[in-house]
Each structure stands twice: as C-alpha cells, then as structure tokens.
Amino acid sequence: MINTREWSKHAKYRDLNPISKYLVTNFFQSLRELFILVNAPTILDVGCGEGMVLKSMEDLMSDKQCSAIDLDPKEIEDAKKNVEFCDFKVGSIYEIPFEDNFASLVFCTEVLEHMDEPEKALDELHRVTKEYAILSVPNEPLWRTLNMVRLKYWKDFGNTPDHKNHWSSNSFKRFIGSRFEIVKELNPIPWNCVLCKKKEASSES
C-alpha cells in the first residue's frame, strides 16, 4: 500500500525522472518569484514537510526570521537536518501554535488539497499572517490527467492518494477569496501558486 505522506512530501521532490525534475524546478522557481515580490521579514511555513520549499529559498532567507510547523514529528526531524535557518515545531494547521498576525508572510504549499476541513485551515492561515500568504495546490483536472498519462492511479481516475480537494485555477481563487485578495497568480504545470494579501475584518463580508 502506498504511503501517501511519502508520496506527497518526498517523492515528487526527489523523483529522478527528467520531466518530473523539470516540473518541480519550475514549481520552486514560481514560489521564489512570488516571494521576491514582498518584503517579508518574518516567515511561517505551515505544513513544511521536510523543508524542501524553504531549502529552495535558502539564499533569500539570510535576513528573515523563519518558523515552520508540520503535523508529522518525523518530517520535523528531517526538516531540522535539511534547513538550518528556520525554527521548527510540531503543529496542526487547524490550531497553528502561534499568535494572531505572527508572520508577515505565511507559506502553505501542497497542503490544502489534503484537508478534511479546508475552510478551517484557511481561517487559521488568515489568522496567523499579518499581511501576505503564498498558497499552492494541484491544478485540476490537469494534475489527474498527467497522472493518467504516466499510468498512475488509474483505478482512482488519476487522483493522487489522500487528495480530498480538487481545485482549478478559478475555483481555488474563489475558495481563498473569502479571506484573501489575490495579488499575483502563477501556474507552473501542474500547480496553482498564488500570492495573496490578507483581507481585514471590515472587508471580509
């Protein structure tokens, strides 16, 4: 039986297939482009896994205060080994262990598609960010189509194990629009990556 955590947090970043490496490189580059657009002194990565997204931005983090959480203690152990410039702790996206407006920028990449309660998770991301968030999810139905092309997960019509939510570019923007204003969107195949700005309480109706 496939370990869904292993697939979602490890294999896609370590796949030696040249096409997979190309796609992941573009994904990281898109996140970097969005990150560079804002001058964020404090960073919080929610659902950091083994820290590969943060590691890809190491050269941009020298003057940043960085924190990160993940629900899996083993992932946190790995992240501490991979990323030396960030403070890591175990924590849930449903109850993020930081105060309101903790970070200037919150990362949440490749997490929301796994959530049973994505709205609750989004509310927590909104609470802990002071201003910005960078969010990413698979771009559907492209993600599942590409899985089918590579002969993966046929019995599930290309759906990656443990993916519970499926957003196109437009539906994802509608989903986060209740809490965030879209600043810039990038769509490296096969992902949706969005830089968004926190809506204040007076503008959330």
pLDDT at 144: 64
Nearest to 114 by CA among 177, 82, 74, 70: 70
Judged by DSSP in three states, 3 sits in coil
pLDDT over 80 at 2, yes or no: no
Q: What is the dihedral of CA 103, 9, 141, 94, to 10 degrees?
A: -40
User: Could you read off the pLDDT of 26-46 as tens digits, one per residue?
Assistant: 999 999 999 999 999 999 999
Instruction: Indicate the pairing of strand 129-138 with strand 191-198.
Output: antiparallel
pLDDT at 178: 94
pLDDT confidence band for 25 (50 / 70 / 90): very high
pLDDT at 6: 37
Residues of 125-154 as b/e, b for ≥16 C-beta within 10 angstroms?
bbbbbbebbbbbbbbbebbbebbbeeeebe
Nearest to 121 by CA among 179, 203, 201: 179
Mean of the pLDDT values across residues 9-23?
67
